[in-house]
Amino acid sequence: MDYLPLFANLKNKPVLVVGGGHVATRKVELLNRAGARIQIVAQQLCEELISIHQKNKFEWISTTYQSQQLKKVFLVIAATNNSKLNQRIYKDASSRYLLVNTVDEPQNCSCIFPAIIDRSPIIIAISSSGTAPVLARLLREKIEALLPAHLGLMAKIAGEWRNKVKARFISLSERRSFWHKAFNGLFSHQVARRQLNEARLTLDRQLNDINISSGEIILVGAGPGNSDLLTLRALQVMQIADVLLYDSLVSKEILDLSRRDADRICVGKRANSHSTTQEEINSMLIKLAKQGKCVVRLKGGDPFIFGRGGEELQAAKSAGIPFQVVPGITTALGVAAYTGIPLTHRDYSQSVLFITGHYHSHNSITYWPNLTQSNQTLVIYMGSITAGSIASKLIINGRDLQTPVAVISRGTCQDQKVLIGTLNKLEILTHKMPTPILLIIGEVAKLHHQLSWFKNTENEP
């Protein structure tokens, strides 16, 4: 380990910055956020520093560096484009046992500035020990994307309860258990939704009764299949789940992104082969949440687009279980993009309609005449079994039998397959493809030849 990670309290402490350019500006802005008392030595100031100086955010003490300026300072930063001067500052500061940072010159540093993720009071620092600062910044971006914006606010509220928790629980293990439950449960989700009064009440209830059940159901859209299309929020809640109830359409790659020790229960449903009834799923969700667990209900696509998400939340509401929804990229949008088929286009389609080919037993499609407009795109979910019937009904009601169609299997995944044909051959095309399948009917389907970009196997009749 080349450097020992430390966090320094710079509030009202004198820091000397030598340099007046854009690099010095970045350091000054960071030091101001830390509350440092900044002194600058520079021949001239760039426009950004002039603006900061006009706000009395630092003291411009001299235009020329002198070693005596190092007296009574806590930290020294050399940010000039003069290597000899930077080396001199480093030697002067080191001889006085002062920490010194020389920008972009690690050999002249006794301390370095890491890449920072600021969720104050939570601070995360990442460093490559000066060897690869660009890599450190890239790592910061990746980690920052995983951390919810409410993390700092949650820490501040937790700080208000710290002494109460210490007084309530004698052992360290009991305190850890309390906070683990709070940070991974309803309290965290309430803070994320800025329900701060409710969040404080939740902590109070848990403090008075550690055994209180405060489970929650989180309905999550897993997107069309490719794990790259999972939303950031979906990934965050998957990381805190106690248990995941997932559909068959959710890929292994996506499941592997969830919390490692979370229980995983497949409740997948396929046409004519339901492994779990909807009533059983509803009952399971409620039972697990009442045990105080964070239950993530993971569905392919978006849970509110032919995903029965509304039915499951109605059951949660009736049972008095708190819930939230994380939308996903619905299959129609994701698959259309990955097959190069724009669902609307000024020359071909002025509207798009999503319909399901698998409907409730007491419902049926009764609006066929409204689906036959040549300038309208139809996207049909779960249409593999009823494709022949759908094509016949559309043609009988006036849709041109030569209307272009696309049959897409495993859309957005590496084994995506696309068949392009015409409406009168829809059933034949569908039978050639493994499920799950999405059907796109309309003039835009022929644009696949021109706009296809994602690797796929394409066959034509």
As annotated, the binding site for S-adenosyl-L-methionine includes 224, 300-302, 305, 382, 411
Q: Which residues pair with 418 in a beta bridge?
A: 408, 458
Active-site option among 181, 242, 247, 417: 247
Q: Answer yes or no: are the C-beta atoms of 341 and 406 closer than 8 Å.
A: yes
- In angstroms, rounded to a whole number, what is the distance separating the alpha carbons of residues 224 and 42? 56
**Taking the chain, what is the end-to-end CA distance rounded to the nearest angstrom?**
63
Q: Using the Cα atoms of residue 217, residue 223, residue 224 and residue 230 in order, give the sign of their dihedral.
A: negative
> Dihedral through CA 326, CA 331, CA 334, CA 335, nearest 10?
170
Whole-number Cα distances in Å, 409 to 216, 413, 429: 34, 9, 11
Task: Tell me the one-letter amino acid at 54.
Answer: Q
SS3 of 182, please? helix
Q: How many CB atoms lie within 10 A of CB 233?
A: 17
The binding site comprises: 22-23, 43-44, 224, 300-302, 305, 382, 411
- DSSP strands (E only) in 258-362: 263-266, 294-299, 323-326, 351-356
Active-site option among 269, 290, 393, 446: 269
* Contacting residues for 31 by C-beta, under 8 A, at least 6 apart: 10, 15, 17, 38
Q: Which residues pair with 406 in a beta bridge?
A: 420, 440
Q: Answer yes or no: are the C-beta atoms of 158 and 177 closer than 8 Å.
A: no
Q: Answer yes or no: are the C-beta atoms of 330 and 280 closer than 8 Å.
A: no
- In angstroms, rounded to a whole number, what is the distance separating the alpha carbons of residues 401 and 460? 17
* Cis peptide bond prior to 303, omega within 30° of 0: no
Report CA 45 to chain centroid distance, whole Å. Answer: 40
Q: Which residues pair with 380 in a beta bridge?
A: 355, 439
Whole-number Cα distances in Å, 298 to 8, 139, 266, 319, 327: 43, 28, 10, 20, 11
The pairing of beta strand 243-246 with beta strand 263-266 = parallel
Q: Which two tokens stand for residue 405?
A: 């169609």
Q: Is 247 part of the annotated catalytic residue set?
A: yes
Q: Which two tokens stand for residue 28?
A: 């000054």
Residues with catalytic function = 247, 269
